[in-house]
Amino acid sequence: MFRTHTCGELRISDVNKQITLSGWVQRSRKMGGMTFIDLRDRYGITQLVFNEEINAELCERANKLGREFVIQVTGTVNERFSKNANIPTGDVEIIVNTLNVLNTALTPPFTIEDNTDGGDDIRMKYRYLDLRRNAVRSNLELRHKMTIEVRKYLDSLGFIEVETPVLIGSTPEGARDFVVPSRMNPGQFYALPQSPQTLKQLLMVSGFDRYFQIAKCFRDEDLRADRQPEFTQIDCEMSFVEQEDIINTFEGMAKHLFKTLRGVELAEPFQRMSWSDAMKYYGSDKPDLRFGMKFVELMDIMKGYGFSVFDNAAYIGGICAEGAATYTRKQLDALTEFVKRPQIGAKGLVYARIEADGTVKSSVDKFYTQAVLQQMKEAFGAKPGDLILILSGDDIMKTRKQLNELRLEMGSQLGLRDKNKFTCLWVVDFPMFEWSEEEGRLMAMHHPFTHPKEEDIPLLDTDPAAVRADAYDMVVNGVEVGGGSIRIHDAKLQAKMFEILGFTPEKAEAQFGFLMNAFKYGAPPHGGLAYGLDRWVSLFAGLDSIRDCIAFPKNNSGRDVMLDAPSAIDQSQLDELNLIVEMKENSN
């Protein structure tokens, strides 16, 4: 037997017991004739003691142990003279009798400590060592606990977890598919699912009533911090429900997770906001409501006074940063630089301080009287000491998005985005379609199976761009943690939707015929939602990137640098698949 206890288990009540432990050498130190070793496993750290006077040979062997050696010891539990209140085993130590080296270890390329000296690249290459760090492992432990709580909640409500296939058909609508050549069906390809969307809808047609799955999803997109080529969804679908039923069910799940995993009781119903209000007041479909700074539109107040930037703008809007009138010229210049960065793209920034006496001191004082500036101040409800920041532009939506970036930056600068405070929001009434410049056609904002709002259905024929959908997103602290919709369950309406999206009937049939056909055999009204598991874990763990809650993540080039994947494959594999690789001139 390799151990009688783990390294996190022994307490003062175990004193004098003969025990066996196995684990890794965390650190070692000599003091007088004694050698102390911290032995580590997943469960904790226990101090081992070797006494030169009692057993010189054993102590000498202990002195030769390197960091991360794997050892097994037997010994007696002893009460520590100087206790360590920081760890649960801190009252005891082990007087070692026998030492068995189970495996040696090279010196790790970075220190296995909470604050490691290893950079991102080296930690990813040696991910198996990085995962030894408490800070990383605890994220994965949280992930494990979250899936337990998710399943507990959904099972209690009668949801059935159903595994849907990973090898399905390719559907060009949406993001880019990963494809898998089929050997048995030469020249044909499977695709990996971007989500189990159509399959879960088929399960509703099957009468499964309440389905869920913690499902791997795949998108071949260019990557960034919160995206991975494979990610995990808590995918859910319900029959005989309206939007309100789904929102209640999954708001309940969110509250259950907050309570069980973060100890946060969220008693009130979550706020709700229409998509158009979210865009109008926050310039984002996922506003961070941990702080205010709601947008105020100033077109009525500030146009027509000869300031051509504003006079020619389609949109003038601003935010009021409480107490930020202390911002120096240098800080304001930095904010101006911030909004002018190419990825934000504003032309400039207008600011106004509210002085102690209530007067307004702005960067555009030469164009506006104090009376107009006071009107502006009133519009914001600004107080002495506040700072007003204003952007303007030709394109209303673009300018709002710029103002959103400024608002988030100010929230961060003013310390208003506390990772331990959580503000949850449902964004509802999304538009059904959005115009794609690239494709030159309307695209489904959620997906082509989303149900239009009943009252907007007539607009499908006359003004499809104005149609709103029964679609909803949950946003926590400015992160979209999930979303869903009521689905179309009527074959004719689904066919019409494909038509508006520019599918020929043949293309719709080829790609989604199975679904439209299924709808002809008695499809119930249904709808659902998917939560992003990676995002929820990141949010609860306070991580900046979903990568840190994934055991073996990929880098921005989609590579697993530890496995060195992807890689070239054998010619025989290509031959069996009837494939030839032909590199383009400019690729690589």
Judged by beta carbon, residue 115 or residue 588, the one nearer a copy of itself is: 588
- Residue among 277, 341, 302, 316 at smallest CA distance from 395: 316
Q: Is 533 annotated as a binding residue?
A: yes
Q: How far is the CB of 307 from a copy of itself (least distance, A)?
A: 47
Helix axes 243-262, 533-541, angle to 10 degrees: 40
Residue 452 DSSP label: B
Q: How far is the CB of 58 from a copy of itself (least distance, A)?
A: 21
Judged by beta carbon, residue 268 or residue 506, the one nearer a copy of itself is: 506
Judged by beta carbon, residue 3 or residue 453, the one nearer a copy of itself is: 3
Q: Is 220 annotated as a binding residue?
A: yes
- Residue among 188, 181, 206, 246 at smallest CA distance from 574: 181
Q: How far is the CB of 227 from a copy of itself (least distance, A)?
A: 12
Q: How far is the CB of 78 from a copy of itself (least distance, A)?
A: 23
Bridge partners (DSSP) of residue 61 are none
Q: How far is the CB of 141 from a copy of itself (least distance, A)?
A: 6
Bridge partners (DSSP) of residue 18 are 76
531 neighbors 482 (Cβ within 8 angstroms): yes
Structure-token match 């695709």, residue found = 191
Q: Is 121 helix (H, G, I), strand (E, B) or coil?
A: helix
**C-alpha distances in Å from residue 572, one per residue of 185, 479, 486, 569, 578:** 17, 46, 47, 8, 10
Judged by beta carbon, residue 181 or residue 384, the one nearer a copy of itself is: 181
Q: Is 535 annotated as a binding residue?
A: yes
Q: Is 228 annotated as a binding residue?
A: yes
Q: How far is the CB of 114 from a copy of itself (least distance, A)?
A: 14
Judged by beta carbon, residue 268 or residue 570, the one nearer a copy of itself is: 570
Q: Is 582 annotated as a binding residue?
A: no
Q: Are strands 387-393 and 360-362 parallel, antiparallel or unpaired?
A: unpaired
Q: Is 41 annotated as a binding residue?
A: no
Dihedral sign computed on CA atoms, order 447, 453, 458, 459: negative
Judged by beta carbon, residue 102 or residue 466, the one nearer a copy of itself is: 102
d(Cα 82, Cα 87) in Å, to the nearest integer? 13
Q: Is 137 annotated as a binding residue?
A: no
Q: How far is the CB of 24 from a copy of itself (least distance, A)?
A: 6
d(Cα 428, Cα 527) in Å, to the nearest integer? 14
Judged by beta carbon, residue 226 or residue 490, the one nearer a copy of itself is: 490
Q: How far is the CB of 214 from a copy of itself (least distance, A)?
A: 9
Judged by beta carbon, residue 88 or residue 108, the one nearer a copy of itself is: 108
d(Cα 400, Cα 152) in Å, to the nearest integer? 41
Q: How far is the CB of 488 from a copy of itself (least distance, A)?
A: 11
DSSP string of 337-395, one letter each residue: HHHHSTTT--S--EEEEEPTTS-EEETTTTTS-HHHHHHHHHHHT--TT-EEEEEEESS
Task: Give the pair of three-digit tokens for residue 142.
Answer: 């949280």
Q: Is 173 annotated as a binding residue?
A: yes
Judged by beta carbon, residue 502 or residue 558, the one nearer a copy of itself is: 558
- Residue among 96, 54, 51 at smallest CA distance from 72: 96
Dihedral sign computed on CA atoms, order 60, 63, 64, 70: positive
Judged by beta carbon, residue 356 or residue 581, the one nearer a copy of itself is: 581
Q: How far is the CB of 169 from a copy of itself (least distance, A)?
A: 3
**C-alpha distances in Å from residue 78, one per residue of 34, 92, 443:** 15, 6, 70
d(Cα 36, Cα 30) in Å, to the nearest integer? 6
322 neighbors 291 (Cβ within 8 angstroms): no
Binding site for L-aspartate: which residues? Answer: 173, 219, 446, 487
Binding site: which residues? Answer: 173, 219-221, 228, 446, 480, 487, 532-535
Binding site for ATP: which residues? Answer: 219-221, 228, 480, 532-535
